[in-house]
Amino acid sequence: MTKQEQQDHVTRAARRAVLIDGIPVSALGVVALALGSSPDQTATQKAWWIATTAAFTLAVAWVLLRAFRRADEYLRKIQLESMAIAFAVVLVALQVVTLLDAAGVLRVEQAAQLIVIGGVAIWLGIADLRTRFHR
């Protein structure tokens, strides 16, 4: 087995591990979104939603921590650079939405969640593309 094939095998194994860790976390995120989607919630429903959202947030942090610990230096560098790019995109997008809100065109509440979710998608997309196309 050549060094390149071995590195590809290690990369696939790391992706598989993150996928296996991430599937239950994604399911928990869907549950948290479903619990929080009702506009008229009782105090018990709000408590369940807050608890599920907190568990989801901690689970995401745990999956990311495990992924960083498994990664070598190069993959850590790619992840951190991808996070920096996504963070910059989120900041610029939030500034644009704030200006649009001040102009009365769009409300911040309508776009904030989409911007944050889009930032995570940008982070993951950039990291995946950089990992796939670096040979």
What's the distance, CA 12 to chain centroid?
A: 20
pLDDT confidence tier of residue 102, bands split at 50, 70 and 90: very high
- Cα angle 20, 24, 27 (rounded to 5 degrees) comes to 135
What confidence tens digit (pLDDT) does each residue in 31-48 have?
Answer: 888 888 777 888 898 899
67 φ, ψ to 5°?
-65, -40
Confirm if 56 and 29 have CB atoms less than 8 A apart.
Answer: yes
What confidence tens digit (pLDDT) does each residue in 38-76 have?
Answer: 778 888 988 998 899 899 889 888 888 888 888 778 888
**Distance between CA atoms of residues 36 and 116, nearest Å:** 17
